[in-house]
């Protein structure tokens, strides 16, 4: 690409690239465009092999000058991947397997006929859906942070430029003063998408008020919440948008250096971000005197090394500085004294991804989306016991019911919804009584949970909430950095008490002690990890007191999850005496006589591995 050294050249590049993308999506170039999902989920499902196969068959059939093929970012509908989309018809094929490629090439690319058997089928109406926008999963979504994901090739700067990229940067550098940028972002009402929900404009203003020879922007991509993958998908799908957001932040308060801190667990995101930075440096969109203005900016990439606490902003700064990722006392806040002691704003990936949009459409337009206290959209990673696992972006104020049942398609296998966990290990559970709560920062806190980074894990009747709390406590225990004793020691003690509950060794006093200790940890910890460490316990204790009582008083696990409190049992009437279970049992604890006597499990020897249950062809084995 040519050097982009002035606003005029950028404007020209944008116009050229836009017409190219436009032609590609509308088929004006006489070619059909094949877009294949290259997000982590679909890659694991073999989308790379699909691309190779398409390329091979396109060559064999001499279609090279009739078809273009590109990988794009996450489609969001991950449970139905891998996706193949064909423009200009806008046909979406789902769950495409290697064997299907031949059919698509022959029937669609050559024969111009839609492959009906590869279309998404609406589970309710049983109708086949051709276009993405007509699928229920997408209907109530509004894609702002995910703009360009699943449309542009994230490896090509030209594609970003052709799809609204860097229009906002051009606008701020040529038409706006730094203070105007801060005012615009403040007026938009956007709050940090990383979890705490601090107003972004205010944060930038704090940093702008500081006098310093050097200031930093840090992008927090240390997405550690288990079950959250929105930042990963944004970085994988449109890294340019995030870099642009970071540059706008830098311009607004006088920072000339930016650091991305991304989890090492996200190799695809890291690779694409690295390439995007390099390509931008090459054309002069990063470096000295960008677009010939006085604004200079460099972006750097640092990788995490597997410590959840580094998602906390001050711990993250320590980690960039090559230290143990332990939080610092605040104040001073990073905006005053951050990276290497200089004013620094730490912004989440999703926050920065929204900034270009805010600048493009203006604060007044943006603030029309959302609720009074929470503006814009939020990306959620829907996971767990839900039909449409994936990434969804909805306006703030959307209800949980819409999220789970309309977009998420409800609970698989007709099971009953039990809870949705938001906010990861710092958050809490919401139950069916909260389903009509509009989702925003304040309403979730009022309900005893929190927005967090956007992980939303759905649980059904088969999940034991005490076990879920136990799981989170185990997580927090091993991720506590050890700096504050209440968190370091307290979470371990809480974990032990919970273990007693799940083993049926606890009494009612244990529950009282747990609550007391939970509050001590909350009040005695420096950072959010400790302050919120007890939330999963408190929230499940408040919402599911009966389940705790069952474990403590009746010594039973109502969902039959806690191993010490459940048994596998063979129904002697249903048992066909086939001996399959006995042969499969790893500890030989099932006995009977083939064809004559029904089989029985020796409970004293059973290790509760569940092999017999999953293997029984007659459904004679159950948990009780």
Binders of other proteins in range 560-589 (CB under 8 A)? 586
* CA distances to 79, 151, 239, 339, 496 from 235, in Å: 20, 14, 5, 23, 38
Residue 329 CA to residue 314 CA, distance in Å, equals: 8
The binding track of 350-389 with respect to other proteins, each residue x by CB under 8 A or -, is: -------------------------------x-xxx---x
Residue 475 CA to residue 607 CA, distance in Å, equals: 24
- Report the nearest approach of other proteins to the CB of residue 443 (Å): 22
- Report the nearest approach of other proteins to the CB of residue 213 (Å): 14
The conformational region for residue 289 under phi > 0 = left, psi -120 to 50 = alpha, else beta, is left
Question: Which CB, 385 or 551, lies closer to other proteins?
Answer: 385
Residue 495 CA to residue 473 CA, distance in Å, equals: 6
Question: Which CB, 303 or 361, lies closer to other proteins?
Answer: 303
Question: Which CB, 196 or 609, lies closer to other proteins?
Answer: 609
* CA distances to 260, 262, 513 from 510, in Å: 44, 40, 5
Rule CB under 8 A: choose which of 51, 457, 506, 562 binds other proteins: 457
Residue 64 CA to residue 474 CA, distance in Å, equals: 54
Rule CB under 8 A: choose which of 320, 450, 497, 501 binds other proteins: 320
Residue 251 CA to residue 12 CA, distance in Å, equals: 22
Question: Which CB, 33 or 315, lies closer to other proteins?
Answer: 315
The binding track of 325-344 with respect to other proteins, each residue x by CB under 8 A or -, is: x--------------x----
Nearest to 381 by CA among 443, 434, 435, 452: 452
Query: In this structure, what token pair is assigned to residue 241?
Result: 């948008």
- Report the nearest approach of other proteins to the CB of residue 262 (Å): 12
**Largest interatomic CA distance in the chain:** 90
Binders of other proteins in range 497-526 (CB under 8 A)? none
Question: Which CB, 96 or 355, lies closer to other proteins?
Answer: 96
Q: Residue 415 CA to chain centroid, in angstroms? A: 24
What dihedral angle (degrees, nearest 10) is formed by the CA atoms of 438, 442, 445, 447?
Answer: -40
- Report the nearest approach of other proteins to the CB of residue 40 (Å): 6
The binding track of 50-89 with respect to other proteins, each residue x by CB under 8 A or -, is: ----------------------------xx-x--------
Rule CB under 8 A: choose which of 182, 243, 262, 459 binds other proteins: 459
Q: How many amino acids of this chain bind other proteins (CB under 8 A)?
A: 57
Question: Which CB, 157 or 391, lies closer to other proteins?
Answer: 391
Contact 255, 335 (CB under 8 A): no
Question: Which CB, 83 or 548, lies closer to other proteins?
Answer: 83
Does position 321 bind other proteins by CB under 8 A? yes
- Report the nearest approach of other proteins to the CB of residue 76 (Å): 10
* CA distances to 53, 135, 161, 167, 503 from 349, in Å: 34, 27, 20, 19, 41
- For residue 428, what is the DSSP state? E
Does position 609 bind other proteins by CB under 8 A? yes
**Binding window for other proteins (CB under 8 A); candidates: 366-374, 394-402, 452-460, 523-531:** 452-460
Question: Which CB, 80 or 377, lies closer to other proteins?
Answer: 80
- Report the nearest approach of other proteins to the CB of residue 227 (Å): 4
Query: In this structure, what token pair is assigned to residue 78?
Result: 């991950």
Question: Which CB, 320 or 497, lies closer to other proteins?
Answer: 320
Question: Which CB, 168 or 391, lies closer to other proteins?
Answer: 391
Residue 227 CA to residue 423 CA, distance in Å, equals: 10
**Binding window for other proteins (CB under 8 A); candidates: 6-14, 275-283, 364-372, 606-614:** 606-614
Helix axes 200-208, 178-188, angle to 10 degrees: 150
Binders of other proteins in range 211-270 (CB under 8 A)? 223-229, 232, 264-267
- Report the nearest approach of other proteins to the CB of residue 318 (Å): 10
Nearest to 173 by CA among 359, 12, 314: 359
Binders of other proteins in range 388-427 (CB under 8 A)? 389-390, 421, 424
Contact 555, 504 (CB under 8 A): yes
Q: Tell me how crowded residue 522 is: count the other CB atoms within 10 A of its CB.
A: 18
Does position 614 bind other proteins by CB under 8 A? yes
Residue 297 CA to residue 286 CA, distance in Å, equals: 6
Contact 341, 331 (CB under 8 A): no
What dihedral angle (degrees, nearest 10) is formed by the CA atoms of 464, 468, 469, 473?
Answer: 150
Question: Which CB, 308 or 599, lies closer to other proteins?
Answer: 308
**Which helix (H) or strand (E) element contains residue 508?**
helix 508-523
Q: Which residues contact 357 (CB under 8 A, 6 or more apart)?
A: 144, 147, 168, 366
Question: Which CB, 322 or 619, lies closer to other proteins?
Answer: 322
Does position 307 bind other proteins by CB under 8 A? yes
Question: Which CB, 339 or 550, lies closer to other proteins?
Answer: 339
- Report the nearest approach of other proteins to the CB of residue 55 (Å): 22
Rule CB under 8 A: choose which of 308, 366, 544, 548 binds other proteins: 308
- Report the nearest approach of other proteins to the CB of residue 24 (Å): 28
Contact 380, 372 (CB under 8 A): no
Positions touching other proteins (CB under 8 A) are 40-41, 43-45, 78-79, 81, 223-229, 232, 264-267, 302-308, 319-325, 340, 381, 383-385, 389-390, 421, 424, 455, 457, 459, 463, 468, 471-472, 475, 481, 586, 609-611, 614
């Amino acid at each position: 690409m040519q050097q982009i050294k002035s606003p005029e050249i950028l404007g020209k590049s944008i116009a050229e690239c836009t017409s190219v993308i436009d032609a590609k999506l509308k088929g004006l170039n006489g070619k059909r465009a094949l877009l294949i999902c290259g997000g982590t989920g679909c890659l694991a499902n073999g989308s790379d092999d699909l691309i190779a196969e398409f390329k091979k068959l396109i060559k064999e059939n001499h279609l090279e000058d009739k078809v273009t093929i590109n990988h794009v970012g996450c489609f969001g509908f991950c449970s139905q991947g891998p996706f193949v989309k064909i423009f200009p018809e806008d046909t979406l094929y789902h769950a495409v397997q290697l064997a299907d490629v031949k059919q698509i090439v022959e029937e669609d690319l050559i024969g111009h006929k839609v492959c009906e058997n590869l279309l998404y089928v609406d589970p309710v109406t049983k109708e086949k859906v051709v276009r993405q926008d007509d699928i229920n999963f997408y209907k109530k979504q509004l894609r702002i942070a995910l703009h360009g994901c699943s449309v542009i090739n994230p490896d090509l700067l030209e594609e970003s430029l052709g799809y609204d990229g860097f229009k906002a940067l051009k606008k701020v550098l040529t038409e706006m003063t730094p203070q105007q940028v801060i005012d615009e972002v403040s007026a938009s009402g956007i709050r940090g998408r990383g979890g705490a929900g601090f107003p972004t404009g205010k944060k930038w203003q704090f940093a702008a008020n500081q006098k310093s020879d050097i200031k930093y922007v840090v992008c927090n991509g240390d997405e550690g919440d288990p079950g959250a993958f929105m930042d990963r998908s944004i970085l994988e799908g449109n890294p340019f948008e995030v870099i642009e957001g970071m540059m706008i932040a830098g311009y607004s308060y006088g920072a000339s250096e930016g650091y991305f801190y991304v989890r090492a667990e996200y190799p695809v995101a890291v690779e694409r971000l690295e390439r995007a930075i390099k390509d931008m440096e090459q054309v002069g969109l990063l470096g000295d005197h960008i677009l010939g203005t006085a604004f200079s900016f460099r972006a750097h990439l640092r990788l995490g090394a597997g410590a959840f606490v580094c998602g906390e902003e001050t711990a993250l700064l320590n980690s960039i500085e090559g230290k143990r990722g332990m939080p610092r006392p605040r104040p001073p806040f990073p905006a005053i004294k951050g990276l290497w002691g200089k004013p620094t704003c730490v912004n989440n990936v999703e926050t920065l991804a929204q900034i270009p949009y805010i600048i493009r459409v203006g604060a007044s337009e943006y603030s029309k989306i959302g609720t009074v206290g929470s503006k814009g959209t939020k990306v959620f990673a829907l996971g767990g016991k839900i039909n449409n696992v994936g990434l969804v972006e909805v306006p703030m104020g959307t209800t949980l019911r819409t999220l789970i049942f309309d977009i998420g398609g409800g609970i698989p296998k007709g099971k009953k919804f039990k809870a949705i966990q938001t906010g990861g290990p710092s958050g809490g559970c919401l139950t069916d009584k909260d389903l009509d709560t509009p989702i925003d920062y304040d309403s979730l806190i009022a309900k005893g949970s929190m927005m967090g980074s956007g992980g939303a894990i759905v649980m059904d009747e088969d999940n034991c909430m005490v076990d879920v709390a136990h799981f989170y406590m185990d997580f927090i225990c091993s991720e506590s950095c050890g700096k504050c004793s209440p968190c370091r020691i307290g979470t371990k003690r809480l974990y032990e008490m919970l273990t007693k509950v799940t083993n049926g060794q606890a009494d009612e006093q244990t529950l009282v002690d747990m609550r007391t200790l939970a509050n001590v940890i909350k009040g005695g910890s420096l950072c959010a990890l400790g302050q919120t460490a007890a939330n999963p316990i408190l929230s499940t204790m408040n919402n599911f007191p009966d389940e705790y009582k069952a474990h403590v008083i009746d010594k039973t696990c109502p969902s039959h999850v806690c191993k010490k409190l459940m048994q596998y049992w063979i129904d002697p009437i249903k048992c066909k005496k086939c001996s399959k279970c006995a042969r499969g049992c790893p500890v030989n604890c099932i006995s009977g006589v083939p064809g004559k006597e029904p089989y029985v499990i020796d409970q004293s020897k059973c290790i509760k591995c569940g092999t017999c249950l999953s293997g029984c062809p007659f459904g004679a084995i159950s948990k009780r």
